[in-house]
Amino acid sequence: MYWACILITCIQLTYCKVLVPPTTVLDWWQNSIVYEIFPLSFKDSNGDGSGDFKGITEKLDYIVDLGVTAIWITPFFESPLESGGYDITNYLDVQHVFGTLDDFKDLLNTAHSKNLKVIMDFVPNHTSDKHIWFEKSAKNETDYADYYIWKDAKNQEDVIKNNATPIVPNNWQMIFGGSAWTWHNTRKQFYFAQFVKNLPDLNFRNKNVHKEMKNVLNYWIKLGIDGIRVDALKHVYESESLEDEPVVDENMALNYFNLDHIYTIDQDEVYDLIKEWRLLLDDFKQSDHHTRIIMTESYSNTSILFKYYTSGAEIPTNFNLLEEYHHTPNDYEREIENWITKMPVGATFNSVLQNHDHTRFPTFYGTELIDGMNALSLFLPGVSIVYYGGEIGMEDTSDKINYARSPMQWDDTKNAGFTNSTHEPWVAIHPDYVTRNVQTENKNPKSYLNFFKSISKLRQTETFKRGGLAIDILNNNTVFVLTRFLHGHENYTLMINMDTNYTQRVRLSDQVSNLHDILTIVIGSENSNFNSGNSISTTEWLNLSPGATIVLTDNLISTSSSIPVDDTTTKSTPSSSTQLYITSRIVLLCLFLITIFNL
């Protein structure tokens, strides 16, 4: 009976939109906006056509003005830059194209002076084949012989005696095509590389490799970084068995995507590795009480990523909202609910909608939804990971490799203000920079940039820091409605018409529960015809033009007239509604009550 009473109470708490008050202070990262910077493309300060540390430092005030809490800089270590900087030749020095180590220290110190945290992209899975470790390992030098994964050919004896063609140890494949095994003529063995052959995988079953990586982390943490983003974490360990991976479809050609990767990804040892690095970072916290975060990159099942949380990672990056297909409101609702309701108690939600490896969302969804997608990213609870240029609606270029990594568009001058040199930028700038750039958008109150800033400011409210989340879906899966609420504070409602072809007509009083009768417009996208400060009644019909996005609040009600409506548009249809919350506090209450009643 006690159990039933507690369960009913918790259900009532949830569906009555009553949030249990917070009991702890949020750490710096838990409501952060993390701004990803691909340094080659952000700002060139010395006219060589490539972005650099001084360029980033020069633009830190701009980043602060966006409402950003932390910057994540993709790899800047010494590298031949054959694989975007993820091909490292020295973890303890910087790539000279970005500047000097002193330039990085200046960037770090200036960022900290502006209350910006700096997250370093950490690449433990592989190095460049030009790294001194690999060169020594290829020569079979004793101290480095097992720094990488070396295996004999299946016909090793025949290769050595008769110069036969080496046969690979198994069917493991590289992500970018071909066998994962590359024959090395000097060592007369195969080495393993999961991505491309110039990126040999390190052997984390070698204790010395662990020591090397801990030395790397110690070095950069002492220098002042505030956390690490661990690249390709799910690939760090492989099974020692060397068995063939199961083929998914025997009728299809052998390639990476036709194998069930039970031996090359998501091995259990990864959890211990996270714990090892968590302990290292926490050792520093004991002396200065400052949290250094672990953010991870693994396109893995959520059940695995949730174990990252419990192993010590604050931000196991949630890629489930990234484009793989055209998400509808129902798709977003399902993915958000699946993470929030199943993540470990005390964990913090996070989301990313675009990054350097994926199509920018204006290219994928269309320009009509630029404001809507930025608003969605910033409206969700927890950590919002955004990508440079997303705030001004930058799109992909035609470059086949670096399509999402083109130079930042600062103004409408030659080369978009990215570089003032006669040197061409390292990769082509998108031709729309003439109209879509920071300088131009700063002057337009209804621009993508100013819309982004308006939403980001809301994240400083108590409602966004600690409040709940409710999701409603209207008009046959076309209108996406999110409400952030907190008892005793103002509530905010985001409406996105994700139909980019038709105007949708909605009446909030028919569809969304627990809204005030009169709401104020905080901001409306340029394609919405809704203006900040105006008030609307939840009983009136609202016309949402294709892709239109508006944010409403029950605070600071204006006396301005409401928005006129058009009787010719499609009427609202019944909604599918789910109330989602940052429910860890409710769960904790349940546990507390269960303890009291000794259940």
Which residues are marked as active site?
231, 297
The DSSP 8-state label assigned to residue 237 in this structure reads -
Helix axes 269-288, 302-311, angle to 10 degrees: 40
Which SS3 state, helix, strand or coil, does residue 72 take?
strand
CA distances from 447 to 362, 370, 443 (A): 14, 10, 8
Q: Closest by alpha carbon to 459, among 27, 31, 36?
A: 31
Order of strands across the sheet with 189-192?
150-151, 189-192, 181-184
Which SS3 state, helix, strand or coil, does residue 234 take?
helix
Which segments within 504-564 are labelled E, that is strand?
504-506, 518-524, 535-537, 542-544, 549-553
Indicate the burial class of 3 (C-beta count within 10 angstroms; 0-12, 13-18, 19 or more).
exposed
CA distances from 238 to 125, 147, 184, 193, 478 (A): 11, 14, 20, 11, 43
Do the bridges between strand 576-580 and strand 70-73 make them parallel or antiparallel, or are there none, so unpaired?
A: unpaired
Helix locations, 101-250, DSSP H: 101-113, 132-138, 156-162, 207-223
391 in Cβ contact with 377 (< 8 Å): no
Q: State which H helix or E strand residue 458 sits in.
A: helix 448-458
Residues with Cβ within 8 Å of 220's Cβ and at least 6 positions away in sequence, in order, are: 120, 228
How many whole angstroms separate alpha carbon 234 and alpha carbon 297? Answer: 8
**Tokens (6 digits) for 577:** 């509604």
How many whole angstroms separate alpha carbon 39 and alpha carbon 75? Answer: 8
Number of residues in the chain: 599
Residues with Cβ within 8 Å of 240's Cβ and at least 6 positions away in sequence, in order, are: 205
Question: Dihedral of the CA atoms 174, 216, 283, 222 (nearest 10)?
Answer: -140
Which segments within 227-334 are labelled E, that is strand?
227-230, 293-296, 315-316
Instruction: Please give the full DSSP string across 475-517, using - where no structure is assigned.
Output: TTTTEEEEEEE-TTS--EEEEEE--SSS-EEE-HHHH-SS--S
Q: Closest by alpha carbon to 232, among 194, 268, 206?
A: 194
How many whole angstroms separate alpha carbon 341 and alpha carbon 581? Answer: 8
How many whole angstroms separate alpha carbon 72 and alpha carbon 32? Answer: 12
Q: What is the CA radius of gyration of the chain?
A: 26
How many whole angstroms separate alpha carbon 19 and alpha carbon 4? Answer: 20
Measured in degrees and rounded to the nearest 5, phi and psi for residue 430 equal: -65, 135
Q: What's the distance, CA 331 to chain centroid?
A: 18
